[in-house]
Structure 1
């Protein structure tokens, strides 16, 4: 059985995914349900949304055992979802699975799922697709490259990765349930990164709309 290694550090895998993309024999379309976004993905990358699970670490471990994983990531107890990645030993093929815990409301469900889908887009270098629909659907002109540049460096790897995912999570709620619901998510949830992400989202949205009005 092919050896796999399970990771959760999306930025660390970014270049590997781009490499897989250049070696692929073709592409197929993946629909990300929470973001309502379709993206092309290399045939060397297999994607699946495995839905709700009752125990994230148990599910992750059981999958790794079935696939003959060399090692696996331990999720923190506060984790509500996971974008999990496994590579073959020669790193010529990857498997990506999303899974998550059922939340107390549809808005929270959407936030968690869109957050994990954004991790996937980040990993495969397709954040520009998300930028386009943000602009088209809610008038948000967000340049993810600037976010990555601002939080550049290995010391900020986790912060950069999570803030980007939170921006996608907030947008998922905004487009489906409206601005007030997105603001509630941004202000009421308690984690290390969503407050910063909400400040970026809200201020960028305000500037984007002011700029659009000035062009009229």
Structure 2
């Protein structure tokens, strides 16, 4: 059985129906790397959304045959600050986790480590899910709230980012309080 090591999320798990997972790491350009993978897998360049590739700072790349994913790659462009790299990488790793149909693993970590109880089966939007993975990774590393807000302004300030932040706060369980007498 093949395994994926999602380093930023801190998750290693079997990938089941997918033959191979590749974290290609930091690349010079999303477009150039996508075109390189197109050539490697015999796909036409029309399969690559050039406008989206030029804007993207991270992406996932799938090789599918008859609706089955055979190969799954993630890659990203190095950002100027480490917290932004964490944000982008966790986002792409969460997309991979979704493709592996293993979001329950992230839900368990959110509950155990951050007391946030999220049922990913109730969330239809993959970008909201990926943004929740980014929030998990940022909070797990103790990134200050002000920096997280700034990161969402720079990298995730759209409806999916706003929705992810709202869901995270909405399903945060109260902290246990202890009283000493």
Give your verdict on TM over 0.5.
yes
Question: Runs of 5+ in structure 2 lacking a partner?
Answer: none
Contact between 2:41 and 2:63, CA under 8 Å: does it hold in 1?
no
Q: Which residue number corresponds to residue 15 of structure 1?
A: none
Q: List per-residue Cα deviations over 1:87-118 (Å, max 9, x = no partner).
A: 24x45551000000101211110010000011
Corresponding position of 1:73: 48
1-structure distance, mates of 2:142, 2:8: 12
Structure 1 position 169, deviation (Å): 1.0
CA spacing shift, 1:93–1:199, aligned 2, 3 Å: closer
Distance (Å, rounded) in 2 between the aligned partners of 1:29 and 1:102: 25
Whether the 8 Å contact between 1:32 and 1:38 is mirrored in structure 2 is yes
Counting helix residues as a fraction of each chain, which structure ranks higher?
Answer: 1
Cα distance in structure 1, aligned partners of 2:122 and 2:67: 29
User: Bigger shift: 110-119 or 62-71?
Assistant: 62-71
- Partner deviation per Cα, 1:34-68 (whole Å, 9 max, x = no partner): 10111111264210100111110111011111221
TM-score by length of 1: 0.72
| Residues 186 and 197, structure 1, Cα contact 8 Å, conserved in 2 | no
**More displaced 10-residue stretch of structure 1: 32-41 or 194-203:** 194-203
Aligned CA RMSD, in angstroms, stands at 2.4
Over 3 Å counting, the alpha-carbon distance change for 1:72 and 1:106 in structure 2 is same
1:122 correspondence with 2:98 = yes
Q: Which runs of 5+ in 1 are unaligned?
A: 1-26, 149-159
Whether the 8 Å contact between 2:132 and 2:164 is mirrored in structure 1 is yes
How many residue pairs match? The answer is: 174
**Equivalent in the alignment of 2:168:** 201
Q: Distance in 1 between matches of 2:169 and 2:144?
A: 9
3-state DSSP of counterpart to 1:51 = strand
The question of whether the paired residues in 2 share the 8 Å contact of 1:187 and 1:198 is answered with no
TM-score (ref. length: structure 2) = 0.84
Q: Are 2:138 and 1:173 equivalent residues in the alignment?
A: yes
C-alpha distance after superposition, 1:118-166 (max 9, x if no partner): 1111112110011011111111111111223xxxxxxxxxxx1111111
